[in-house]
Every structure is written in structure tokens, then in C-alpha cells.
Amino acid sequence: MADRQTFRLVALNCRYTHSCLALFYVRNALEVHLPAAEIELLPLTINDPYYQALQRIVAGDPRVLLFSAYIWNASFLHRLVRDIVRIRPGQPMVIGGPQAGFLGDLPDECTLVYGEIEGVDPLFYRDLAGRTLRPVYRAGEGVDFPFPYRPDDFSIHLQNRQILYESSRGCPFSCSYCLSAACSRVVHKDIATVEDELRRLLQSRPPLIKFVDRTFNDIPERALAIWEKLVEIGGETRFHFEVAPDRFTKEQLDFLETVPVGLFQFEIGIQSTNTKTLAAVHRRMDVERALATIHRLRVMANIHLHVDLILGLPEDDRQSFAESFRRVFSCHPHHIQMGLLKVLPATPLAGEADQYKIIHCARPPHEVLSTATMDSRTLAELFLLGQCVERFYNNRYFPSLWRYLKQTGENTFVFFERLLAVCRERDFFQRAATQELMVEILAAHVSGRGDFELLKQLLIFDWLRCGHRFLPEIFQGQSLADQRTRLRRTMPLSYEPLYSERERNHFFKQGIFYPFSAAALLLTGMASEGDTAMVCFFEKSDDDLYGLRKCALLPIIFTKIP
């Protein structure tokens, strides 16, 4: 049997690739205050088989179990702790994290810790060692936070996982739906410290470092200095930041234009463009400046942009949300997330729920069910429309189609409303969302339009750029093999922009060829001198964020599609 002095720190993540930053902070604090303690880190996920997870947690009879409670694991954790005392009566358990106080009825064996572990009274550690824990401990404020990791963490606990890093704590804003609204304190590490810690992180060459700063660019000059250091350091690691879109400066934008493709990715919280809604939730944002910034960042085409909208905010109705969606779509970000409002306990909005007639789920994650301005049916419909956006838009499948809708000024909210109707008719949400199925549904959706032939070509163009070597069944009127055979007979022995005489056979063997109208090619960014031109799709990918296949026009001009 294992030593009963073991302190087991348990993470309950959403996915295997995620990591729990709190685990490492708590580990370090325990080592400082209880140097003789044996500490184990046990990363699990809420999707693990429940019985196996329960048995792994209690295996070896650890002296104390420590958990971090979040909105995504609260229900799973609540179930666990109640079952743990059934099989291990008297087992001490410590629960911290933002949801610690909102798990509901807990066994007497549970101790709650509120606040940052660095600010907890040393009395807590004495009680922890002596197994004389009180029901509640509260941390003070104003404590600095150290670097959480050790070199061996990256080969043991963080291997094949995202690495989380915070260069600041707190948020300068007070949005009423956010836990940060209860504390306006913001603590920033100095840039020299951040640079040193990032260099230590990068020694393990992680694929992604995710800054968890609530608003990374709240001090624009500081954000720019860190970005400049990351570009200077170089390497293959990508960096994720949560940013406020209306706080970018000209100097920042000018610099970001020079950043290597894919190095940075931005998560941008617009939430709503409705000024009444923003005022109701105390969110300070210059909407016009925010949208202009997103548009400029998108034109740069070197930074992945993830933009959030929230469904069910106070004062937001169907019409105002549709306007928010249209305005965000017009910026053409790579990813649009339409998430349900979560009415978190202890937030100002939770106290204002009656004022806005907000009804929400009783258990975590407390999703909104209806409001004074959105009944439950409207909210459910918009949520399903968001699922449609998630599947059709938030991928690399149809960039030319979305670019066309943006350029023509089409009402994209109405487009997705009608697309949703087709999805329902064809039971799309009960089927595997393959690209071929989505092409079929989009084709059905636009089949009665006057621009159908043009849209059909855009769907085929995007399909082939995704690397397919055949046409989707719905468009298999022409044989790709026949196109290749014709070109072999008509193309010169050598065409230096694309192939030499020696490379000719390989070029035709690996390439995929298809004719497109000049109008379609113009929309894809390729200009044709004739009415129709042949395009070759290569086996290699472009150096862009989507990783689509390279393509080129061939010197074969037609007066119509052959």
C-alpha cells in the first residue's frame, strides 16, 4: 500500500490535450510549506470512464485529495466527491478553483479554498499536514504568482498537452457575466520576467503555448513588446492570446502584419454589437473600432481569428443578435463561436437575473434558457443556427463561398437560417458531418438561385483545394481523368512555370485539373484572360492558415467550359 502521506492533486480537464495550470501552482505551494510531503499529480478528463477515474483517484489511500473546480468539471467533480466518501469514509478532500463554492451540497470531508493559492494563510498548510482541516479557507490579495513549471513537467505531465501560461492575472473590465467582475485587480509580470519564463517554456518546443491572460493587450505597449520578443525568439511554437479588439494601436497592427503565418492566434470577444446589451452587462467596447480591427487583422491573413458571440445576453433579441452576426461575419474571421450565456453564481449578472427575467439551468454550466427578450424557442433556434455555423463555417472547407457572400453583401444570417432549414429536412445533425455531405446540403440550399452555376463552381474549387482527387457525387458529371487525358495531348512538352520535360509525367500524374469560368476564378483570386480557364491543383499545400492545396492557371483558354 502506498504511503499515506501522499497528497494527490487531481485535474479534471475537458480533453486529454488540455492541462490544468492550477495543479502546478498548488504543487509548488505545497512543496514550499510542506517540504516533506509526497506529491502526486493525476491529470484526468471528464470524459474518462467514471468508475476507472474514481478508482485511480483513491488508489493507494492518499492522505489528502486536492481538486480544482471549474464550470466544465463541476458536475463530474460533485459526483466524484460524494462517491469517494462512500468507499473511503473520512477521506480529506480540498477543493479550490472558481466553482469551489458552487458545487452544491458536499460531504463534511470537503474543505473549500477561496482565492489564489499563493495568498492562503500558512495555517492552512499546518492543518493540512495534521488532518485538522477547517471547512473554509480564504486567500488574501496582492500576492505575486511564480513560474509554475519545472523542466521535467514537460516530459511527464505536459507531454502532448497544451501549455498554459499567464503573464498577468485579473481583468481591467467588469463584464457582469464574468467572475472577474468581482475583482478589478490586475497584476502584470514585468517584461523581462515574461521573456525569461517563455524561454524556459520554449526549451521543450511545445506546439502551442496558450496565454490565459483575461485581456492580454490591456496595456498595448506591453503586449507589443512581448510579441516582438516572441518573433525574435522564433521557433515552431504557436501562441494563443485573448485580446480586446478595440485596444489595438497602429504600432501593434503594423507589427502584426509582419508576423510569420500561423505564429499567433487571437481569441476575440465581441459578444454583441448591440449597444443596449453591452451597457446592460457593463462591457466597455468601441464596437466600430473593434470590427475595423478584426477586418484589418483578417486582411493580413497571417493570424487565426476566433471571434465569440454570446446568445441570451440581456436586452438582446433575435433581430439585434442577427445584426451582431452579420456584422461579425462581414469581417470574415476564421472562426465564429455562438455560445450560450452561462449565468455563473457570484457574478453580478446572477444577481440581476430577475431584472432581465433570465431563466437558466440549475446545474453547471448554468446555460441560459430564456430571457425577457428571447423566449426559449427563439434561443433554441439560434443555438441550432450556431451549430450550423460551427459545422459549415468554422473549418477550411468553403472559403470561396464565404468570400463570395461577403463581397456581394448578402444577408448571411438569412443564408444560415435557410441552410438550417435544409439541414433539418435532411437530418444533418443526426449524420456524420463529412465534407461531401455538407457540399450536398449546400448545393440543395442554393439550387434555386440565379447564381447557382457560379456557386457550384466555387464549391468544386474549394473541394479540390482541400486535397480531394475526385468530385463529390453530386457533381460527378465530368471525369477528372478525362480532363487529365485532354491536357496531356494539348500541353507542351515543357512549361517552365510548372514543369520541365523531365517532370511532365509526374506533373500530370499528381495534378488534378478542372475548368472554371472567369467569374468564378476572379472570386477565388485568380484572373483569367478568357471566358474559361483550366486550373491545376497540386499535391503540396499553400503556406496559409488553411493549408489548402496550391493551384495555378494553365495556358489553355476556352470560350466555354468543355
Integer angstrom CA distances of residue 198 from 118, 160, 202, 208, 546? 21, 18, 6, 12, 27
Q: Region 270-274: what's the mean pLDDT? A: 97
Residue 263 is predicted with a pLDDT of 96
Find which of 276-280, 342-346, 473-477 is predicted with most confidence, using mean pLDDT: 276-280
List the grid coordinates of 526: 485568380
Crossing angle for the helix pair 318-330 and 412-425, nearest 10 degrees?
A: 110
The residue with greater pLDDT, 21 or 234, is 21
Assess whether pLDDT exceeds 90 at residue 212: yes
Residues 64-76 have pLDDT tens digits of 999 999 999 999 9
Residues 497-548 have pLDDT tens digits of 899 999 999 999 999 999 999 999 999 988 777 788 899 999 998 888 888 9
Assess whether pLDDT exceeds 70 at residue 142: no
Assess whether pLDDT exceeds 60 at residue 3: no
Residues 6+ apart with CB under 8 A from 379: 311, 312, 340, 368, 369, 370, 371
What are the CB-based long-range contacts (under 8 Å, 24+) for 194-203?
194/167, 194/226, 194/229, 195/226, 195/229, 197/147, 197/165, 198/165, 198/229, 198/230, 198/233, 199/233, 200/147, 200/149, 200/151, 201/149, 201/163, 201/165, 202/233, 202/235, 202/237, 203/151, 203/154
Assess whether pLDDT exceeds 50 at residue 1: no
Give the global pTM: 0.92
Residues 473-491 have pLDDT tens digits of 998 776 788 889 888 888 8
Minimum mean pLDDT range among 7-21, 135-149, 276-290, 448-462: 135-149
Return the number of other C-beta atoms located less than 10 Å from residue 60's C-beta. 12
Residue 557 is predicted with a pLDDT of 54
Residue 184 is predicted with a pLDDT of 67
Paired sense of beta strands 335-340 and 304-311, if any: parallel
The residue with greater pLDDT, 276 or 99, is 276
Q: Region 112-127: what's the mean pLDDT? A: 92
Tell whether omega for the bond before 365 is within 30 degrees of 0, i.e. cis: yes
Residue 15 is predicted with a pLDDT of 87
Assess whether pLDDT exceeds 50 at residue 361: yes
**What's the CA gap between 6 and 2, in Å, rounded?**
8
Among residues 245, 11, 33, the alpha carbon closest in space to that of 121 is found at 33
Beta bridge partners of residue 113, listed in sequence order = 137
Assess whether pLDDT exceeds 70 at residue 561: no
Q: Region 331-342: what's the mean pLDDT? A: 96
Domains and CATH numbers, the chain: 6-138 (3.40.50.280), 162-394 (3.80.30.20), 472-558 (no CATH)
Assess whether pLDDT exceeds 80 at residue 2: no
